[in-house]
């Protein structure tokens, strides 16, 4: 139910939209605010652009793999990934901002080189999943859109495109089905849409706006999302 609901063109469009949304939110954050905590525990406003720059470079590796057939993993190791984010977060603000913009542009350029045949090649994500290269833009769109909200600089899930939110909810409900967690029957209150998550126990009904459900499912603060009989919706395990 995941890939069928979105096309490669959707992923590329959402990557462009999400990159612009993240860049706008980052630009609105004065240098003096970069050291403040974001909505992600333990990460300041410096860690998010550093992570997204490193993520863009990691996805450039997958684009290289898809274009040439030469295996090139996203990150050399999980420890290296953490170290690169920590080092990037210590850069002077101007350098950090420049790296964030440069890495995003480089990824766009590398993706623009891929043709039909390249997009169908198999690559491996940092989580060890084998996917076609056509998943790369979706992986990037998810990162830039959700982290734009995490930055806490004025972007909320409700500011993200509705068709992206629908695709995100499809993606996370599919991923959460079969993982540890409660069974859910979700319904959007501002849009036609119901989803199920298979899991433990009888399904708990969860209702909220598209934006609220996307926030809830991705493990973010989700005001106005309710469970059965107006109770708070069940707590979910980590998503990614
Ligand atoms: Zn991330």
Q: Distance between CA 11 and CA 138 in Å, rounded? A: 5
Q: What's the CATH class of domain 162-230? A: alpha beta
Cα(230) to ligand 1 centroid in Å equals 31
Ligand 1 centroid – CA 55 distance (Å):
8
Determine the pLDDT at residue 170: 97
Task: Please identify which residue in the block is written with the tokens 């979706």.
Answer: 138
Whole-structure pTM value: 0.95
Q: What is the pLDDT of residue 223?
A: 84
C-alpha 131 – ligand 1 centre gap (Å): 18
Q: How far is CA 71 from CA 65, 66, 68, in A?
A: 5, 8, 8
| For the chain, domain boundaries | 3-155, 162-230
Q: Which CATH code is given to the segment(s) 3-155?
A: 1.20.120.450
Please tell me the predicted confidence (pLDDT) of residue 1.
Answer: 37
Q: What integer best gives the mean pLDDT of the chain?
A: 95
- Residues, CB within 5 angstroms of ligand 1 (ion): 143
Q: Which residues of the chain have pLDDT under 70?
A: 1-4
CA 99 to ligand 1 center in whole angstroms: 16
Q: What is the pLDDT of residue 206?
A: 97
Q: What is the whole-number distance in angstroms between the Cα of residue 202 and the centre of ligand 1?
A: 31
* pLDDT for res 4: 55
């Amino acid at each position: 139910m995941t890939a069928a609901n979105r096309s490669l063109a959707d992923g590329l469009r959402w990557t462009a939209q999400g990159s612009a949304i993240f860049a706008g939110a980052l630009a609105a954050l004065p240098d003096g605010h970069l050291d403040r905590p974001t909505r992600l525990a333990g990460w300041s406003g410096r860690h998010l652009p550093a992570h997204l720059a490193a993520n863009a470079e990691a996805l450039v590796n997958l684009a290289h793999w898809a274009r040439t057939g030469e295996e090139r993993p996203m990150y050399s190791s999980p420890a290296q990934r953490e170290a690169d984010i920590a080092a990037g977060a210590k850069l002077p603000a101007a350098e950090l901002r420049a790296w964030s913009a440069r890495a995003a542009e480089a990824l766009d350029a590398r993706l623009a080189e891929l043709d039909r045949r390249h997009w169908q090649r198999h690559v491996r994500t940092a989580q060890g999943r084998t996917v076609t290269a056509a998943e790369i833009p979706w992986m990037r769109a998810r990162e830039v859109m959700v982290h734009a909200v995490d930055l806490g600089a004025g972007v909320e899930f409700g500011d993200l495109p509705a068709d992206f939110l629908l695709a995100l909810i499809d993606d996370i409900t599919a991923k959460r089905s079969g993982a540890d967690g409660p069974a859910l029957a979700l319904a959007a209150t501002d849009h036609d849409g119901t989803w199920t998550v298979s899991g433990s126990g009888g399904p708990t009904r969860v209702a909220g706006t598209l934006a609220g459900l996307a926030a809830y499912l991705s493990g973010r603060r989700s005001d106005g999302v309710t469970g059965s009989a107006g109770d708070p919706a069940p707590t979910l395990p980590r998503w990614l």
